[in-house]
Structure 1
């Protein structure tokens, strides 16, 4: 359905509609530089950097928290190390020294896998409720409390670890419970803040905080672990989240109508370009049409497939760097972070390119979302297979892993923001649904990885990368066949339907 001015951002260059004016004329668009909407995106970037740092720091700290990576030696195996130890490490044990008085724990690979996956058990529970409430009330309060709650709980990590692995599992699950509302809240806010022709760049900039946070957190965690001890990681990261929350609550509002410092020009531009879709969805939802929506199921399945490889690397890459390639903890953190630097840069750049293609009407929204998703998943799968056969080559492994995650960032302008295309008014709730399903790999992938790699062999890790690559390919095929960027009929408001009927009548007349 086209907006009242006759321009549809879903139309292709071949569409011969009688009105071909852009949604908002260029001279009527207030500049993005220093704008309130860009400041919101930057603050969101910092917020997601914090929560992803809180999410992944355990992956690196785990290497320092255990006194032996796996106290149970592989049965019937004379191979102690899959790859040769670097010169000078032949007599080193798997124990990583910590400052005096810092405890370490005898957790085996299975226990580590459960602890790394614990976060996602809680994360699953609050996605849909968080999206629903954010769509009704506005997302700023839920995102702020989500980050603050996760940060506050992170401060208790050393105490929970001392009490036992079950307590740490419960704490990580509670952290996931708090963080689960953040992404749906972000989507609900952008449904009210992001003009249609700026959606890709604003949402990828804010969402890229996930990759940026992993990039900063991984090497920083390794450095802190070796200099101050692993408990300091959780104290410092948790404190950073609490500081961010102060700025968030002081500077952010749910939509431009309520913002105290936005210019009148920018406010009118945002409100007029979004239209009736930029309001809350109320208490009732079209649940049955949502459940039977093929484009929505395409998003769900594709995000699950893409997240399998993402969460595999997010939670298990530091262990691979330590157990197989034998990087020291500082190098481990830095090299584990390189893929996320590439993903951050690629996702941000892809948003600018995607918006440009849509604005210039080179491709429809549907085509843009499918192209970016296919490139991400298919090329990423090929690079994961290359990792599987890189053997003990440090250079090849790091190169292919970095390229795989870099190209994975391109999907940020594809399937990961597709909810706001098909139903802007319900985008927060829909993201809660898709992220709930998309989080399942976060629970399962670390456990499967721990099962495949319990003997710390290259063959086990090769299976990990092959499985991830195959699932990527499946997601690309499904989304290419079933995905859509068109607003769905069940998402159209009565006001929009009435405007369209009036417009159709005037054309006929």
Structure 2
């Protein structure tokens, strides 16, 4: 039986079956269209669109920034021995000419790998403190300032490149430092805003802005590089981030209780359905219990495995399209973006599907998270292996790469939102922890790719894809065995502990 008004899905203790947890009646859910919670999701979606534009623009711009006419025997061998140019592009110059006065630099593949991975050195540092502070104070200020700070630093990219690769490395690391707080802040906001029956769709809708941002930024970067020169990419992306921040600080509130334009019906629905878990966690957190939590470690390891493949493609796919498949710059940007269009669509649809399964009680929350994670890691692995066997077939290669990232969108409704299932009020802090570990592949994968592909051959890139596929599949196995969506006992509030004790006492007396 559904609970009376005001009961919370999170009122169940951690040792109860998920199927026994109370759910809000579907009829009690206020309209979603134009609601404050869906407006928040849309603004987050735009924010992460900008965030990923700021993050991936260097991947395509690097092709235009590097002077490929400089002597590089390995690169010259790749033109002869790797793949032929696509049909219709045989006579297009290998060197992407820039407008007069736009500089190009003689960076080899190792230097490019370090520059593409530099962002993640800074990104590692602010995940945990950002999640902790956002969980205490609220996520609005941290998400807003994270995007704004990264946008301002992006405006300085052409100057840093002119000063040298070390300066550019430092600037990109600083951008990562500022952006590291964004995803933990998003999770902290949804801990207070997302009703349990809408968690999957709200969080996948907002988080899918990352895939959409990559989809938009990659072809747009290629077009801007050819038309205006690569510095214009960073000026335009940085300006877009500054503009978004204005709307964010005007329209967003940390908590539905303090939102100025929310209806009473919607506010009551959100606060009643989330219950005591929709509050800040204070200054103290149960660190020892977290460190010993099996479900949390399952999330950490699985996200590390999944992110290896994701970050490999995010940072290195434009280089593969250029050096191996020899697409021109505009085609490179467009084709590199197709996988993220599929990922965006699939992650959004997976959120709706996961909520429908949970609402109808077709499957437990744990089973839903495991199924979507399994699909979101095993299918991409299979398509990455298929890329290896596609060889120089341009159509098959692009198709398999697109399908790999598209099917990876399934995991958006699985492991990537699992923190809010096991400990809603600590969700921002937990995401900071899991994303810190999950960012390690972002640091290592581009560097490993640079070393594997020094000779610019198909064999070197085959190693890149084999490693990514194997690591991805390992993550699927780990989450299937050890993952859980049950609310953990260490995440209960004092109010929930007291209620659990009263419930247990009544059970014993009867």
Alignment of 1:408-419 (within 5 A): 408-419=408-419
CA distance in 1, matches of 2:343, 2:43: 19
Q: Shift of residue 495 of structure 1?
A: 0.3
Q: Shift of residue 389 of structure 1?
A: 1.1
Residue 455 in 1 paired to residue 455 in 2? yes
Alignment correspondent of 2:497: 497
TM-score, normalisation: structure 1:
0.95
CA distance in 1, matches of 2:76, 2:217: 38
Of residues 169-178 and 91-100 in structure 1, the stretch that sits farther from structure 2 once superposed is 91-100
Question: What value does the CA root-mean-square deviation take over the aligned residues?
Answer: 2.2
CA distance in 2, matches of 1:107, 1:116: 12
Q: 1:15 to 1:280 in 2, by over 3 A?
A: closer
Cα deviation, 1:198-235, whole Å, max 9, x if unaligned, reads 10000000000000000000000000000000000000
8 Å Cα contact 1:9/1:364 also seen in 2: no
Q: 1:398 to 1:69 in 2, by over 3 A?
A: farther
Alignment correspondent of 1:371: 371
Q: Shift of residue 10 of structure 1?
A: 8.9
Alignment correspondent of 2:382: 382
Q: Shift of residue 191 of structure 1?
A: 0.3
CA distance in 1, matches of 2:333, 2:458: 21
TM-score, normalisation: structure 2:
0.95
8 Å Cα contact 1:9/1:359 also seen in 2: no
8 Å Cα contact 2:78/2:455 also seen in 1: no
CA distance in 2, matches of 1:331, 1:348: 26
Residue 440 in 1 paired to residue 421 in 2? no
Runs of 4+ in 1 over 2 A off after TM superposition: 2-11, 14-17, 69-72, 74-81, 85-94, 500-509
Alignment of 1:318-397 (within 5 A): 318-397=318-397
Alignment of 1:228-307 (within 5 A): 228-307=228-307
Alignment correspondent of 1:147: 147
8 Å Cα contact 2:8/2:24 also seen in 1: no
Alignment correspondent of 1:186: 186
CA distance in 2, matches of 1:487, 1:5: 16
CA distance in 2, matches of 1:424, 1:75: 51
Q: Shift of residue 485 of structure 1?
A: 0.4
CA distance in 2, matches of 1:281, 1:460: 48
8 Å Cα contact 1:71/1:106 also seen in 2: no
CA distance in 2, matches of 1:171, 1:204: 30
Q: Shift of residue 74 of structure 1?
A: 2.6
8 Å Cα contact 2:219/2:331 also seen in 1: yes
**Aligned positions, number:** 504
Q: What 5-or-longer segments of structure 1 have no aligned partner? A: none
CA distance in 2, matches of 1:48, 1:78: 36
Q: Shift of residue 384 of structure 1?
A: 0.3
CA distance in 1, matches of 2:135, 2:90: 57
Q: Shift of residue 28 of structure 1?
A: 1.7
CA distance in 2, matches of 1:40, 1:424: 18
Q: 1:16 to 1:123 in 2, by over 3 A?
A: closer
Q: Shift of residue 68 of structure 1?
A: 1.2
Q: What 5-or-longer segments of structure 2 have no aligned partner? A: none
Q: 1:219 to 1:75 in 2, by over 3 A?
A: closer
